[in-house]
């Protein structure tokens, strides 16, 4: 899948096995795909590389078969070896220009940002999309910074020319506010991974977004 991939989606789903009510990442991804999600990020902070590799091999097969964009968090080598569509990095990772040298010009590079300067730098460095957050307080990410608030989100919506995803503490009951600030796509972990009925929850989220 090329870099001019489907960012015309309103929902970016991310895995978190320990917050998935005892279900495996594979089972959760299966349900996300069944619900018609078009972009999925594999994010696992504490697993061994061999386990992440095995899971990503499976998820790559599943997403490929379904035409779903597959992004790997943090591990550039893992993203490359499983032929993911993209990699998502943070501010403390390798510079985007260097990541681009490694992954080539077809792979998507996304980067988390927390302020206007980081967003502008991401654009200059050639990022394909940025993460904007945390919008709200969240316990899902360890060592997370203070919420960036709506002001930064509005700045990005009005000034940054590449796609962006709002992230952090986004729930059914606050999506409307986030979209009203100009977000076109929300990245969600626990509001989906902890749901008893994952496709049902995704359907509810889409309904809320549609009404904005
Ligand atoms: N980056 C910023 S906040 C966050 C990440 C990965 C966690 C989002 O998880 P949740 O459960 O949707 O708040
Ligand atoms: Mg990271």
Digit-coded pLDDT (tens) for 185-200: 999 999 999 999 999 9
Going by C-beta distance under 8 Å and a sequence separation of 6 or more, which residues neighbour residue 102? 76, 80, 94
No. of helices (H) and no. of strands (E), the chain: 9, 8
The mean pLDDT of 120-147, rounded to a whole number, is 96
Using an 8 Å Cβ cutoff, are 110 and 87 in contact?
A: yes
Would you tell me how many other CB atoms lie within 10 Å of the CB of residue 23? 15
Neighbours of 100 (CB within 10 A): 17
- Report the separation in Å between the CA atom of 141 and the middle of ligand 2, taken as the mean of its atom positions: 10
Q: Is 141 in the pocket of ligand 1 (CB under 6 A)?
A: yes
Is 80 exceeded by the pLDDT of residue 6?
no
Token look-up 């962006």 returns: 164
Instruction: Give pLDDT, residue 9.
Output: 87
Which numbered ligand comes closest to the C-alpha of 142? Answer: 1
Query: Are 43 and 14 contacting, i.e. CB atoms less than 8 angstroms apart?
Result: yes
The pLDDT of residue 4 is above 60: no
What is the percent of the chain with per-residue pLDDT over 90, rounded to a whole number?
A: 94
Give me 104's structure tokens.
Answer: 């080539």
Question: Rounded mean pLDDT of 20-47?
Answer: 98
Which of 6-15, 61-70, 185-194 has the lowest average pLDDT?
6-15
Q: Which two three-digit tokens encode residue 36?
A: 């018609």
State mean pLDDT over 21-25.
Answer: 98
Kindly tell me if the per-residue pLDDT of 12 is higher than 70.
yes
What's the pLDDT score for residue 105? 95
Q: Structure pTM?
A: 0.97
pLDDT band at 50 (very low <50, low <70, confident <90, very high): very high
Of residues 149 and 59, which shows the higher confidence score?
Answer: 59
In short, whether 169's Cβ falls inside 6 Å of ligand 1 is yes
Q: Does residue 188 have its Cβ closer than 6 Å to ligand 1? A: yes
In the reported structure, the alpha carbon of residue 212 is separated from the centroid of ligand 2 by a whole-number distance in angstroms of 30
82 CA to centre of ligand 1 in angstroms: 24
110 lines ligand 1 (CB under 6 A): no
For residue 7, pLDDT beyond 50: yes
Structure tokens at 167: 């992230």
Q: Which residues are catalytic?
A: 43, 112, 141
For a pocket test of ligand 1, which of 15, 93, 189, 198 has the largest count of ligand atoms closer than 8 A to its C-beta?
189
- Tell me the C-alpha distance between 66 and 58, whole Å: 13
Task: Report pLDDT digits (tens) over 76-100.
Answer: 999 999 999 999 999 999 999 999 9
CB distance 184 to ligand 1 below 6 Å: no
Q: Which of 45, 114, 137, 167 has most ligand 1 atoms within 8 Å of its beta carbon, as the pocket-test mutant? A: 167
From the CA of 14, the nearest ligand is 1
> Residue 8's pLDDT band (boundaries 50, 70, 90)?
confident
Question: How far, in Å, CA of 50 to CA of 78, rounded?
Answer: 10
Q: Which of 189, 201, 193, 142 is nearest to 26 (CA)?
A: 193
CA angle 157, 162, 164 (to 5 degrees): 55
Q: pLDDT class for 3, splitting at 50, 70, 90?
A: low
Neighbours of 195 (CB within 10 A): 19
In the chain, the percentage of residues whose pLDDT exceeds 70 is 97
């Amino acid at each position: 899948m090329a870099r001019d991939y489907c960012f015309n989606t309103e929902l970016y789903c991310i895995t978190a096995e320990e917050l998935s009510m005892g279900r495996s990442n594979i089972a959760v991804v299966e349900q996300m795909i069944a619900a018609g999600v078009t972009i999925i990020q594999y994010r696992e902070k504490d697993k061994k590389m061999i386990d992440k590799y095995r899971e990503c091999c499976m998820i790559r097969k599943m997403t490929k078969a379904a035409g779903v964009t597959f992004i790997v968090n943090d591990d550039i080598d893992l993203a490359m070896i499983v032929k993911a569509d993209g990699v998502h990095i943070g501010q403390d990772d390798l510079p985007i220009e260097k990541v681009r040298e490694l992954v080539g010009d077809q792979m998507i590079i996304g980067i988390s940002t927390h302020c206007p300067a980081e967003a502008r730098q991401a654009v200059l460095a050639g990022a394909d999309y940025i993460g904007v957050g945390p919008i709200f307080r969240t316990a899902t990410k360890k060592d997370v910074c203070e919420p960036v608030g709506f002001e930064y989100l509005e700045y990005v919506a009005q000034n940054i020319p590449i796609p962006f995803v709002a992230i952090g503490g986004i729930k059914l009951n606050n999506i409307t506010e986030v979209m009203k600030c100009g977000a076109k796509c929300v990245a969600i972990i626990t509001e989906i991974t902890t749901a008893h009925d994952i496709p049902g929850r995704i359907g509810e989220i889409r309904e809320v977004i549609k009404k904005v």
